[in-house]
Amino acid sequence: MDNTQEQQVVSMPRIGDPAPEFKAVTTQGEINFPSDYKGSWVILFSHPADFTPVCTSEFMTFASMEDKFAEANCKLVGLSVDGLYSHIAWLRTIKEKIEYRGMKDVEVNFPLIEDITMNVAKAYGMIQPNEDTTKAVRAVFFIDPMGIIRTIIYYPLSLGRNFDELYRVIIALKTADEFGVATPADWRAGDDVIISPAGSCGAAKDRMEGNDSNVDECKDWFFCTKKLDKDMVLNKVLKK
């Protein structure tokens, strides 16, 4: 097989895997990942390049929401394959010159990784050759306090991310962990949650007859829900 027919294999970690370890220079100093973040949730995300408009809009949005993520014990770490000085110049430009959707004078305080070798991007499968061989796609890794990858979301270069969804994912993951439940489509804190299907005929019968105290409503034996008060959920999952 000649070189034109060879397919480049790009590895990427999977949900449930430990987050690949690395040491990196960032705009906030050197970090050891994920060990420096043990005890906190982390969103590790990549962007294609500095001084590009979609990435600029995303960084301004992330920076404006940093305190909101922090309340959920979630830290932000960005990455692109640009160098440190490019990062610094770009972030200064964002603060001094860019206004977007009412956001201005935005200062990015979370670390932005220098990855000119693409070592970190390759370890996380952020380089997708059929999209671009020299830029990272818009990858998002949600990593829990034990350093385990819990959710992965990938976007192409042209598509800016939905930041309400990124925040929703953190709250939903923490709610599932805290209460031992699952969250249905479009779930928000305060909505009903899903209880795991009954594991036996007897349990299914109890649920359908209203004899399971852990269930509030069953549409059928496999589709049962429970109400969780919004304030109770947020009091449990924020600052934890």
Instruction: Report CA 185 to chain centroid distance, whole Å.
Output: 17
Calpha distance 183→163 (Å, rounded): 18
Listing DSSP states for 91-124 in one string gives HHHHHHH--BTTB-S----S-EEE-TT-HHHHHT
Any catalytic annotation for residue 55? yes
DSSP class of 182 = B
Tell me which of 55, 74, 218, 224 is the catalytic residue: 55
Do the beta carbons of residue 72 and residue 234 sit within 8 Å? Answer: no
**Residue 138, annotated as binding a ligand:** yes
Question: What are the residues whose beta carbons fall under 8 Å from the beta carbon of 100, sequence distance 6 or more?
Answer: 56, 57, 60
Calpha distance 240→233 (Å, rounded): 12
Calpha distance 139→123 (Å, rounded): 12
Calpha distance 48→132 (Å, rounded): 9
Q: Retrieve residue 135's tokens.
A: 């830029």
Q: What is the bridge-based pairing of β-strands 112-114 and 74-80?
A: parallel
Annotated binding residues, written as ranges, equal: 138
Annotated binding residues for substrate, written as ranges, equal: 138
Q: Supply the residues annotated as catalytic.
A: 55
